[in-house]
Amino acid sequence: MIKPEAVAAGHSGKIIDMIIAAGFKIKAMKLTKLSKERAGEFYEVHKERPFYGELVAYMSGGPIVAMALEKDNAVADFRKFIGATDPAEAAEGTIRKRFAKSKGENAVHGSDSDENAAIEIAFHFADSEIVG
């Protein structure tokens, strides 16, 4: 996902360009806005964390761009490509180094395992919205 503050700042196109240039193939994509309930569901694993309420409010506060991406070793490569959660720790050349504002407003989300990627893709897309 490209997160609300990055979409609002007009960075979606640049981020999509970088994703494609890094070798990821876009299999599905949509601009959408998550309700509080849907954002809460997406981040349910973080329910007990102190920042959960803030995270849900932020992720439901404006449009996001959701994407399903394909590449060999996609999950690990995408996490490397976007950089550390905290932009202060993100490596040079990563998406978060360039676009993230803080640990919370960190421009993009990437799945942390193949299993969660499948769950998160199904959260955003019907099978008919994913190109073969």
Is position 46 annotated as part of the catalytic site? no
Residue 106 interacts with ligand CMP (CB under 6 A)?
A: yes
* Distance in Å, CB of 20 to ligand CMP, minimum: 21
Distance between CA atoms of 108 and 15, rounded to whole angstroms? 9
Candidate ranges 17-25, 29-37, 90-98, 103-111; the one touching ligand CMP (CB under 6 A): 103-111
Q: The tokens of 14 are what? A: 């640049």
- Among residues 61, 62, 63, 104, the one that binds ligand CMP under rule CB under 6 A: 104
Distance between CA atoms of 5 and 8, rounded to whole angstroms? 5
Binding site for ligand CMP (CB under 6 A): 46, 51, 54-55, 85, 103-104, 106, 109
* Residues acting as catalytic residues: 109
